[in-house]
Structure 1
């Protein structure tokens, strides 16, 4: 059985807008239905100790980085080095929603993910019923989907690398905003901007997208 490590935001990587514990629990249930065992760990400095995952899922964002709260940037270097080592060894990564705003103390994260939330530029309309358009239906991640509908946020004007392979877009005022893409990597890396809270995963098409992502990342 494949094993996924779900990194749920905690401390400096947990924001007040996302219930990462609830989302991580829902993800673990979906993974189990697809024959993937899951370990959920909060983003603590030792979160990557003694793990050997086949997939890393990042459901973390941006929290408080002040040293008195959660350590200094130097204290977190081993965590980021361990994550980079996993990726370098070929472990695939799925970054979800607020992951575009995570790990700001490690600029290489945005490069690997293929984009980031740009403060003052990126934004989203109010959460609500949203339709996301599949740009490339030929890719295994979007197989069988023409649109994805969910109660969710539409991230707009993300800072996106020109090297990504865009799979899904959010259309707003005549502009297509990339929200799901295959990133440069190294290795297999997917960013998926959907998934503000568990209600997103009540949508069959959103669940299918997530399952397709996991299956492709695991090489199934």
Structure 2
């Protein structure tokens, strides 16, 4: 079975939902290993995994050696899945910005909103209705990703969004050598009990790991 590395280290804000996220990812993939140790990012260790998940990481979480090893891993075909505050991670590392697609800028308070499915022909979105209503923390980004956008926020359904009619929430690309997927969803503990969100994560994980 393909192995997945769950990385949950934070050096800034720490989400209360991380334990729920780890449990969910382990339920979705039996061969998932969780660590907060940046020493796990070595060429030999990373070679054991089909994909690495940055699950609500925050701040600078890797050493220089770890950054070198992780970039080589991705450029060699390794998969990456970033969840929520993975976009608020490693702001000073240009490769990571290219990999994750966009950096977090700001967010309004947690509230209900409507999501529109921009691309229904992806394993992470094929199960979703055309519009999906749920509660989360709705990220604005410093830029729009150069990527295949899968989900967008409908800013007319909540207060505080600043990106306008084109407000990406989830996207994917293969620009860096391996497959990269990012979803801005997953702030709340309750998210990880939602069947639709769990299926969203499962589809994203299958895609980045090239699993069927």
Same fold (TM over 0.5): yes
Question: 2:67 & 2:94 partners in 1: Cα distance?
Answer: 10
The equivalent of 1:154 in structure 2 is 138
Task: List per-residue Cα deviations over 1:40-72 (Å, max 9, x = no partner).
Answer: 011x33022434111110024434x6xxxx9xx
Q: CA contact under 8 A between 1:155 and 1:193: conserved in structure 2?
A: yes
2:164 corresponds to 1:170:
no
The equivalent of 2:159 in structure 1 is none
The equivalent of 2:51 in structure 1 is 55
Offset at 1:136? Answer: 1.1
Structure 2: 5+ residue stretches without partners: 157-163
Task: List per-residue Cα deviations over 1:158-181 (Å, max 9, x = no partner).
Answer: 4223x2110000111362310100
Report the TM-score when normalising by structure 2. Answer: 0.83
2:89 corresponds to 1:102:
yes
Offset at 1:106? Answer: 1.5
The equivalent of 1:22 in structure 2 is 19
Question: 1:187 & 1:207 partners in 2: Cα distance?
Answer: 23
The equivalent of 1:39 in structure 2 is 33
Q: CA contact under 8 A between 1:132 and 1:148: conserved in structure 2?
A: yes
Report the TM-score when normalising by structure 1. Answer: 0.80
Question: 2:123 & 2:18 partners in 1: Cα distance?
Answer: 28
Question: 1:110 & 1:164 partners in 2: Cα distance?
Answer: 12
Task: List per-residue Cα deviations over 1:16-39 (Å, max 9, x = no partner).
Answer: 4x136414422333323xxx4110
The equivalent of 1:140 in structure 2 is 123
- Partner secondary structure for residue 198 of structure 2: helix
Task: List per-residue Cα deviations over 1:75-108 (Å, max 9, x = no partner).
Answer: 8210111111211221110011001110123121
2:170 corresponds to 1:180:
yes
Alpha-carbon distance change, 144 to 160 in structure 1, aligned in 2, over 3 angstroms: same
Q: CA contact under 8 A between 2:113 and 2:154: conserved in structure 1?
A: no
- Partner secondary structure for residue 179 of structure 1: strand
- Partner secondary structure for residue 153 of structure 2: strand
